[in-house]
Amino acid sequence: MDAVVKKIIKEVKKGDQQAFSELVELYKDKVYQVAYRMLGNSHEAQDIAQEAFLRAYTNLDSYDVNRKFSTWLFRIATNLAIDRIRKKKPDFHLEDHVAGTEDLNYYSQIATEEELPEEQVVKFEMQEWVQKEIMMLPPKYRSAIILKYMEDLSLKEISEILKLPVATVKTRIHRGREALRKRLRDS
Amino acid sequence: MACKNEYSILIHKYLDEEMTLLEKKKLENHIIKCKDCEGHMRELRKTVAIVQSASHIEAPINFTESVMNKLPKETNTNRWKTRLRKHPILLTAAVFFLVFVMSISSIWNDSTKEIVVKGDGHFIVDEERRVVIIPEGETISGDIIVRNGNIEIEGEVLGDITIINGEIIKSDISNGENYLASAGHVAGEIHEINQVFDWLWYRVKAFFSDVINFIN
Ligand SMILES: [Zn+2]
């Protein structure tokens, strides 16, 4: 995988723009998922995920090939998402959290109309719950939890993505976990 | 709840999978006795499992395409450099192609709009309709080349037919039959150059501008 990615990056750096599409294909779901989980709606998620790839393309020369490409890409995506959250902060309150799940609600409504098996409905509800609760977390806990449990990354990788000491990442994950636990118990 | 803090740290260590055997033993022994800590740990594990179970989201369709469309436009020079580097044989092929096409185009350019026929046998040139007619009962023993005109075959052609800037048209007496239906008339192959030539010419012009950009 790493060898393939390195080869593609080499091609892109030589000027083969088309080769970049292979990188997008490889990472689009992961990057989109980070953006979606951070922002809570598909419109902004797509915006940020695309922007992340565009930045990666234009700044490819500053990428250190000896490091993991995904770490670098996730860092760009996470920073963009956090910036976006900061910018819209004035109208972002805990009360608004339901707005963040509208897409999932929409899908689950469609799903219900089509009378999905009960198991699937439960799954949708769980998805909704998870997204809603993640949106309630302060962004710094949110990013740590998403990277750890949705992208399945190691503490070390997360610390590189967020440019934080591993100990700080741990604390954020602990606090995020505790916050989610309390909400699960109260729900 | 007095124990909470110390054991809370251990519980998180457990969830981070960073426990020593000794710590693990310590936590296990405590949890058997302490309902609070046991509950705490159970709830946290459940929370983690639920978050992990949130199924993975996929990027929208056409995502890659729209990213690619937003990339800064590649310069022609870059595109050619890339292609030539990727396919070195392309350069050779391109040069060969250029020479080949230039020789064709020189033939083309020095020709006037006059109908030119090359062939061995008896045929009629109808200047007004710009048609070369091979009359019924006549045979062209070898190849025939017609330039700047059409050809109508009522007789027989034993060799190939090459038509430059023209086409085979149906003979009047073929009763609506396609000339191919009476394939017995033509023993060899039929080449109509005009379309191919148009295509070649278009490619050559595009290629020239790219090469000039590339050289500059
Ligand atoms: Zn206890």
Going from the Cα of A144 to the center of ligand 1, the distance in angstroms, rounded, reads 27
CATH classification at residue A180 = 1.10.1740.10
A window 43-62, beta carbon within 8 A of B: 46, 49-50, 53-54, 57-58
Structure tokens at A172: 């954020």
> Quick one: B130 and B206 in the same domain?
yes
Number of separate domains in chain A: 1
> pLDDT band at residue A105, thresholds of 50, 70 and 90?
very low
Overall average pLDDT of the A132-150 stretch: 94
Report yes or no on B17 lying in a domain: yes
> Quick one: B140 and B166 in the same domain?
yes
Report yes or no on B61 lying in a domain: no
* Collapsed DSSP state (helix, strand, coil) of residue A178: helix
Which residues of chain B are within 8 Å of residue A18 when distances are taken between CB atoms? 68
Going from the Cα of B40 to the center of ligand 1, the distance in angstroms, rounded, reads 9
Report yes or no on B62 lying in a domain: no
SS (H, E, C) A137-162: CCHHHHHHHHHHHHCCCCHHHHHHHH
- How far apart, in whole angstroms, are the C-alpha atoms of residue B100 and residue B103? 5
> Quick one: B102 and B133 in the same domain?
no
Which residues of chain B are within 8 Å of residue A17 when distances are taken between CB atoms? 68, 71, 74, 78-79, 82
Please identify, among B92, B111, B130, the residue that sits at the C-terminal boundary of a domain.
B111
Cα A16 → chain centroid = 28
Number of separate domains in chain B: 3
Q: Which pLDDT tens digit goes with each residue over B166-211? A: 877 765 444 444 444 344 467 777 777 665 556 566 556 666 666 6
- How far apart, in whole angstroms, are the C-alpha atoms of residue A130 and residue B47? 9
Report yes or no on B157 lying in a domain: yes
Segments forming the whole domain that contains residue B39:
4-53
- Residue in the block written with tokens 């309709």: B129
Angle at A183 between CA A179 and CA B2, to 5 degrees: 60
> Quick one: B121 and B179 in the same domain?
yes
Report yes or no on B60 lying in a domain: no
Report yes or no on B73 lying in a domain: no
Chain B residues contacting A via beta carbons under 8 Å: 12, 15-16, 40, 43-44, 46-48, 50-60, 63-64, 66-68, 70-72, 74, 78-79, 81-82, 85-86
Task: Say which amino acid occupies B98.
Answer: L
Residue among A16, A31, A177 minimizing CB distance to B44:
A177
> pLDDT band at residue B105, thresholds of 50, 70 and 90?
low
Overall average pLDDT of the B72-92 stretch: 65
pLDDT at B125: 81
How many C-beta atoms surround the C-beta of residue A32 within 10 A? Answer: 25
pTM of the model: 0.60
Segments forming the whole domain that contains residue A25:
2-186
> Quick one: B25 and B92 in the same domain?
no
- What ipTM does the predicted assembly reach? 0.79
Structure tokens at B46: 């459940």
- How far apart, in whole angstroms, are the C-alpha atoms of residue B87 and residue B85? 6
Least confident stretch, A52-66, B20-34, B191-205? B191-205
Going from the Cα of B43 to the center of ligand 1, the distance in angstroms, rounded, reads 14
- Residue in the block written with tokens 């089509």: A114
CA nearest A147 in B: which residue?
B52
Could A185 and B12 be called an inter-chain contact, meaning their C-beta atoms sit closer than 8 Å?
Answer: no
